[in-house]
Structure 1
């Protein structure tokens, strides 16, 4: 078992944070009655009252996301991956990328920790981040018609910021963009993403997001895409 964590996201008046592998399991938090919600999606992320850990700021919540496979391969193994070392695990790589983006001041969740359990030639993993207060998925706002034109322009500007930083978000969709209580957009879920030189991947990111908008807001998909691209081009 291997754990990577960010001491700056934890607090403990009596010494170093006592983070443990159990923190990365839903059963642990369920026993503490600390689960306050769950997000849709393959990973079945749960939201945690982090104060139950004794190492979080008051009223802080965390998001715990176990790694799950998608596509045809999930029928062979839902949550196991081939072991090639802790540093090459999806959890550690995503943790480090998220931390790097966060340190650059980009709007991403603050990472708390990542855990990898090795089982022979396979491993399982989970990632913990600080939950963005009051955030809702852009997908939900699109679906119920409450995504304003200005918000879509802000999303375009957001994506341009990440692209300027060299982030290739391989799963850029409306569920991985969150909008907080102040209507500010954030980007989440950097599994398999990477930093790279500028190239055609930027257009592939935008094309993927457009398909997602088409899915959640078919009646106004062209309008939404127009305002998003205007924000992107104006940045």
Structure 2
């Protein structure tokens, strides 16, 4: 993956030049690529994911699908602005940091969605942003599998093993929960939504990641099932 930047007006785009350039190396992307209205006009919206960010599924041509995720705030601050952030420099924007981190993890052969492009549009002292990744075919959230009693012991232990791989690589996933762990049709486990995540040295953050996941499991299954799921995941993590 070869990352390049493109500036157009107030927008700056970080993109995969290997997949988004034509034969003359001209980027086939622009600010409109990150606007739902543009995709709606092309008839390219195929669905929407649950959650605060309202991610859209897009038809990218040749049978491929992308996921467009605008950055959205939660909590009390969202009452002031749910999609704008304080500008502290382009490389410190949430979109650019997540794009670069995802590309780094992909290069390490870790199961993350392939990043396509990130867009940042500056408005003086604030900015708004969005990220596009390749959609994982047939993927379902671990949360959905738990709710439907479809997560067997083998799968749960594989979830634990995958989390361990990310931890061994130094990834602190600050929002590790059952919605950000996906399972595709082949049973492969993926980790998504790397916003605000970072690579770190060994420390207590690993335990905090697992505790956050444990709390999440309790929201999608009954108490006994949540305890069992936690035990299986921890076993896979420890083996």
Deviation at 1:76, TM superposition (A): 1.0
Displacement of 1:84 after TM fit?
A: 1.1
Q: Does the aligned pair in 2 maintain the 1:9–1:110 contact within 8 Å?
A: no
Name stretches of at least 5 consecutive residues in structure 2 with no aligned partner: 1-10
What CA distance in whole angstroms lies between the structure 2 residues aligned with 1:175 and 1:136? 9
Indicate whether 1:65 and 2:94 are aligned. Answer: no
The residue number in structure 2 matching 1:3 is 13
The partner residue of 1:224 within 222, 226, 229 is 229
Deviation string 1:122-142 (CA, Å, 9 cap, x unpaired) is 100000000001101111111
Q: Aligned runs of 1:96-115 on 2, under 5 Å?
A: 96-115=100-119
Q: For residues 50 and 163 of structure 2, what CA distance do their matches in structure 1 show? A: 23
User: Which residue is 2:4 aligned to?
Assistant: none
Shift in alpha-carbon separation, 1:30–1:173, aligned structure 2, 3 A: same
Q: 1:35 aligns with which of 45, 48, 53?
A: 45
Corresponding residue pairs, total: 228
Residue of 124, 127, 148 corresponding to 2:152: 148
Residue 218 of structure 1, CA deviation:
2.0
Partner of 2:180: 176
CA distance in 2, matches of 1:5, 1:105: 19
In the other structure, the counterpart of 1:199 is 203
What are the ranges of 5 or more consecutive residues in structure 1 without an aligned counterpart? 52-57
CA shift digits 1:174-205 (9 cap, x unpaired):
00011001011100000000000000000000
Does the Cα contact within 8 Å between 2:20 and 2:28 map onto a contact in 1?
Answer: no
**Higher strand proportion (structure 1 or 2):** 2
Q: CA deviation at 1:15?
A: 4.2
Shift of 1:9: 3.6
Report deviation, 1:8.
2.8
Q: Aligned in 2, Cα 1:141/1:11: closer, same or farther, shift over 3 Å?
A: farther
Secondary structure of 1:5's partner? Answer: strand
1:93-121 residue CA offsets vs partner (Å, 9 max, x unmatched): 00000000011110000100000011111
Q: CA deviation at 1:14?
A: 5.8
| Divergent runs of 4+, >3 A | 9-17
The question of whether the paired residues in 2 share the 8 Å contact of 1:137 and 1:177 is answered with yes
- Offset of 1:148 from its aligned partner? 1.1
Whole-angstrom CA distance in 2 between matches of 1:11 and 1:61: 18
Residue 95 of structure 1 aligns with which residue? 99
Q: CA deviation at 1:21?
A: 0.6
Equivalent-residue separation in structure 2 for 1:49 and 1:14 (angstroms): 24
- Please tell me whether the aligned partners of residues 35 and 46 of structure 1 are also in contact (alpha carbons under 8 angstroms): yes
Candidates 28, 33, 58, aligned match of 1:48: 58
